[in-house]
Amino acid sequence: MNRTLEDIRSSFETYLSLIGMPGEPEQLYAPFAYAMSGGGKRLRPSLLLATYDLYADDLAPALPAAAAVEIFHNFTLLHDDVMDNAMVRRGRPSVYAKWGLNTALLSGDVMLIAAYMLLQRTPVHHLMPRLLEIFNTMAVQVCEGQQYDMEFEGRSKITVVEYMHMIELKTSALLCGAVQLGAVLGGASDEDFRKLSRFATEIGLAFQLQDDLLDCYGDENLLGKRIGGDILEGKKSFMTIMAMSLADREQREVLRSTHLDKSLTDEEKISRVKGVYDALGVPRIAEQQISSRFDRALALLGTLKGAGSTQMLASLASGLIGRSK
């Protein structure tokens, strides 16, 4: 149990590289391999393995499930790119852009099935019904979250509660599922299982709110993308939904119509909307939400019973939210 995150990541990459994938039909498996090689952070398998490591020593039995969640995550990105008509993913052409709709659709399907194939390789057979149950619940929640996210774009009024529910499904469910699989595989008690689930859910919510905040207020150089994208697209982020809930009539009109106003430059649009956010204190509210969820998550780690050092989980959380304890 004296592992570092580096050890875990390296074991995971080795396992992933040894999985072996059929060569034929090439048009089905090449996009799969491409999607997996995009250099993601491997956050979800790391969460799973770091959780497992709290309770158990030999990493091997947890590696297939870790691969399952990473494949599932990349499957969701692949199909999301089709639904969002997104041509770029991690700085490269998306599978959708590179191979077209039919291949993106079918390769995604095969990735979803492959996630279950990896889960099935878990050598602890008596846990299979429980692992499958966790995985299924997680997978369905992610789909439900994506559906709400798409629906929100076409709706004029969304409450903060609805938004938080959506990101709990779309973002937290997958982190929560990863942690739950690690906990069950490691043999955590029911109480620890519940606490770890809550930990992952809070971290997921904090991460998504952070993402929404940084899209307007982040450092362009650090993020590697232009600031204000959500504002220009009129995307229903936490920032605009919280602002709408606090705005007067005039501010509401600014929030609603600025991104559609062709007489304004991009800079003007961004600064006008941020002016409303600032006036309403939305960045501070977001900061508070992120901090309190982050703190609550870390505090939960301190109350686990029978677990080893929670340092790896704490660093994963810190790295993700970009702040320290």
Q: DSSP states of 178-237 as a string? A: HHHHHHHHHT--HHHHHHHHHHHHHHHHHHHHHHHHHHHHS-HHHHTS-TTHHHHHT---
Nearest residue (CB) to a copy of itself, 18 versus 101: 101
Binding mask 79-98 for a copy of itself (x = CB under 8 A): x--xx---------------
Residues 6+ apart with CB under 8 A from 106: 28
Supply the minimum distance, in Å, between the C-beta of residue 95 and a copy of itself.
13
Contact present, 182 and 273 (Cβ < 8 Å)? no
Contact present, 170 and 146 (Cβ < 8 Å)? yes
Q: Are strands 92-93 and 88-89 parallel, antiparallel or unpaired?
A: antiparallel
Of 112, 164, 254, 279, the one binding a copy of itself (CB under 8 A) is 112
Supply the minimum distance, in Å, between the C-beta of residue 20 and a copy of itself.
13
Nearest residue (CB) to a copy of itself, 88 versus 150: 150
Of 8, 71, 119, 241, the one binding a copy of itself (CB under 8 A) is 119
Binding mask 23-62 for a copy of itself (x = CB under 8 A): -xx-xx----------------------------------
Nearest residue (CB) to a copy of itself, 30 versus 264: 30
Residue 230: name the closest of 248, 218, 245 by CA.
218
Contact present, 81 and 94 (Cβ < 8 Å)? yes
User: Distance between CA atoms of 102 and 165, rounded to whole angstroms?
Assistant: 32
| Residue list 139-178, contact with a copy of itself (CB under 8 A) | 139-140, 143-144, 146-148, 150-151
Residues of this chain that interact with a copy of itself (CB under 8 A) are 22, 24-25, 27-28, 79, 82-83, 101-102, 105-106, 108-110, 112-114, 116-117, 119-120, 125-126, 128-129, 132-133, 135-136, 139-140, 143-144, 146-148, 150-151
